[in-house]
Amino acid sequence: MAGKKYYPIMLDIENKNCLVIGGGNVALRKIRALLSCGASVSVISGDLCPELRELAKTGQPEWLSNKYNSEFITGIFLVIAATDDPELNKKIYEDCQYRNILINMVDKPELCGFILPAVYQEGDLTVSVSTSGKSPMMAKLIRDELKNNAEMLDIIGKIRGKTKQNREIIIGARGSKLAIKQAEIVINEIKKYMPEIAVNIKKIKTLGDKMPGIPLDEIKEEDVFTRELDNALLNNEIDLAVHSLKDLPRDLPRGLSVKIFPKKEDSRDVLVSRNKLSLNELPEGALIGTSSARRTERVKDLRPDLNFAPIRGNIDERIKKVEDGQYDATILAAAGLNRLGLQGKIAEYFEFPTAPGQGMLAIVTREE
């Protein structure tokens, strides 16, 4: 039995009667897993660990008794033997075998009729990892690593329904080079799982794009770069909208949801200057173009003698304004430069804290 392997299968345990014998932390983990899938859980133990005792006060799990006898497994769908008494676990195993009831023994994985894998659920997506009971910790570590791609997989699952009727996915994005590049990154991920599907980009001009000469702090709108894309989603003109996470407002319109795309780029801020001068090499009184109060304060701490002025435009336009002499330097996100292949323009990387979500992409979809 040393080389026993389990055939993976998904069980519907919603409202099924499941029994856990044992009241420690292992039993607690098993019970939580069962409850998360809608099972009706009972527990038998002389004592319960504090967290399990609090959970039992809610009625799920139901604390039946402090002592096991074979009658308790009558009408039970599956049983987990999680006691620290090997003889009792063996007795439970024999009772279940006699009645053809699924049994999991936490101390004897080679005798289990089933095992509980490490599970991650996101919407309709379920990711489970098993090491056939031999290394639960490894299974958990692998599960956690898979979480990094789970949200993208969930999005893929949701759009499959649409493609059954229409073999095209439309992604909305602003018209800048960076916005298009970010949309192309998402397209490449979709193509990994659905190579047969046509995926096209629809360029949409946002309020922020329509007012390039007005400083952002004067527009006073949180959704300055997202409103028109949100409306296109709600009107079924596009299927996904791709944004830099830091551009999203705190609240999305009702009917929309956001997924954080797991491929995070370098989150640091960087200096772009004429002749690639570092911050310390810039002359006294040099003019820095930035519309970010956060960036201004951080750089002022390092060079209080510098001057600052608002700057608007996409990455290429801001760099051109520096190269044309309108500014001596500007501060940009490394992520955008990396995605556009413009790393060679970076004069210096800053290590100070950056905007929340900088370097990350967000995919906005309709909730359905």
Query: Does the reported pTM lie above 0.85?
Result: no
User: What is the CA 274 to chain-centroid distance, rounded?
Assistant: 38
Q: What is the pLDDT along the chain (368 residues), one digit of tens a residue?
A: 345 677 778 888 888 999 999 988 888 988 988 898 889 999 999 888 988 988 888 888 888 877 888 888 888 999 999 888 888 988 999 999 989 998 888 877 777 787 777 676 666 667 777 766 566 666 666 656 666 666 666 666 666 666 555 568 899 998 889 999 999 999 988 888 778 888 899 999 887 767 665 655 555 566 777 889 889 999 889 999 998 888 888 888 888 888 777 667 888 999 999 999 999 999 999 999 998 889 999 999 999 999 999 998 889 999 999 999 999 999 999 999 999 999 999 999 999 888 888 888 889 988 87
Please identify which of the residues 95, 230, 239, 247 carries the catalytic annotation.
247
Structure tokens at 4: 């026993």
Asked about 85 being catalytic, the answer comes back as no
> Can you identify the CATH homologous superfamily of domain 151-264+360-366?
Periplasmic binding protein-like II (3.40.190.10)
At 1 the pLDDT is 39
Q: Please report the DSSP string for 78-110 in residue order.
A: EEEE--S-HHHHHHHHHHHHHHT-EEEETT-GG
1.10.1200.10, 1.20.200.10, 3.30.1330.20, 3.40.50.720: CATH of 17-116: 3.40.50.720
CA angle 144, 150, 153 (to 5 degrees): 155
Count the neighbouring beta carbons within 10 Å of the beta carbon of residue 289: 21
3.30.1330.60, 3.40.190.10, 1.20.1440.230, 3.40.50.300: CATH of 269-349: 3.40.190.10
Q: At what angle do helices 136-163 and 177-193 cross, to 10 degrees?
A: 100
